A = this chain, B = another copy of it.
Amino acid sequence: MPEETSAPLPRLAEYPIDHEFIERWSPRALTGQDIPQEDLMALFEAARWAPSNGNSQPWRFLYARRTQPAWPLFRDLLDEGNHRWADKASALIVVVSAQKNEKTGKPLETASYDTGAAWMSLALQGHLKGLAVHGMAGFDHEKARRDLRVPDGHRVEAMAAVGYPDSPDVLPEDLRKRERPKERHRLDQFVFQGGWPEHC
């Protein structure tokens, strides 16, 4: 029943927002075609303009397109579960944050938070360009640090697969059934007026 199981849930916004926020999701069904270098760079360009504490810009992006020599290096970082679909990505990205100010050596307390902001811009820009962008925590962080020469004082935050959307039919059955936008908590479960609710 791929037609039924792959039908997107109707996500409903409680308040009116721009379409990209609610339409963006994290598909797994990818075509495996190459991505032009300039199309990939536009995603990093969007990330570039994110805000950060003192304009510290702690985000770093390591990447390989599937046609580049480093592709196997990036692909081999993935957990088995992600191999099953992300091997068809057009590019794989490792997101890293600089945890110290490079000039003063002082800790950047908001490095991960600010890097997450840059990642969101990347994901939204990808969606706006018709690409599938899917963040991943399921990979070998230590191997990434070692094989990609991530320096001390930097944190490996996450990976992301970037690709062209394909039919859910290309996926193994269990993934095909999950190939739809996920729901979210209600606003009153994470937005609190005046402070944390007394009963929590």
Contact = CB atoms under 8 A, between A and B. Distances in A.
Interface stretch (A2-10, A82-90, A105-113, A167-175): A105-113
Contact of A196 (B17, B120, B149): B149
A190 B59 contact: yes
What's the number of copies of this chain in the assembled complex?
2
Contact of A51 (B59, B123, B187): B123
Contacts of A22: 49
If over half of A's interface residues share one DSSP class (helix, strand or loop), that class is named, otherwise mixed; here it is: mixed
Interface of A: 11, 13-18, 21-22, 24-26, 38, 41-42, 44-46, 48-51, 53-55, 57, 59-64, 68-70, 73, 95, 97, 109-110, 112-121, 123-125, 128, 135, 137, 147-151, 157-158, 182, 184-185, 187, 190-196, 198, 200
